[in-house]
Amino acid sequence: MGCDIHIVVEQSHPDGSWEAVMHDMEGVAGISRPGTPFIEAFGRRSYPFFGLLRGVRQNEDGPWLATDGLPGDANDFARDRLDPEMVTDLHSQGWITYNDLLDALLDETVLPQTLIDPELHAILASRVRLLEEALKGADPVMIFRGRYCDEDTEIYHPDMANLSAHERLVIAKRCGELSPVTGHSIRVLFAFDN
């Protein structure tokens, strides 16, 4: 049985809160997913990369690039999607900032020597490059909301495709207030399943 990764990309606000701006879910009805090439590449099964991020399937004893668990200030959408108390069969949650990914790419000594894979640097470089492309092309940004997912329809509530005009205006305003893209204003939250 293979192991897969599920992700939510968050962007910060100047007030310190975080919003989900990209994800790997199919169940948000009527919404095209920004950053799809990055999402698909990041989610591609690569055990050396999974081991580097969080010690899954390789490099179990570390060191890992990602911080263990979900951040305490993760937004509701990310928490609902990645929390094992909300979704069964998830494990090994973690998160990493865009800056941490860049640091690992620029300083190969950060990469664990226990991961003997000549392609690891290239794998990491492709993920970082695609994240950068997704961040440049994510205009207009869509903020994803909603904690509850109807299991029958796989639609989050509120249903992002059928928001009221007022709800759309609130989200559009929040989108315009997001912090500029920097190493510390973007983070990738993830969890694995088997």
Burial 103-123, CB ≥16 within 10 A → b, else e: ebbeeeeebbeeeebeebeeb
Q: What are the tens digits of pLDDT across the range 86-139?
A: 666 778 889 999 999 888 888 766 665 555 566 777 888 888 888 887 777 655
How many domains does the chain divide into?
Answer: 1
Task: Spell out the alpha helix ranges (H) of 57-111.
Answer: 76-82, 98-106
Strands annotated E in 84-127 = 90-97
pTM above 0.85, yes or no: no
pLDDT at 61: 64
In terms of residue numbers, what domain contains 117?
A: 4-193
- CA separation for the pair 170, 37 (Å, rounded): 28
CB 171 within 8 A of CB 158: no
Q: What are the tens digits of pLDDT across the range 41-68?
A: 666 777 778 878 876 666 666 677 889 8
Residue 194 has pLDDT above 50, yes or no: yes
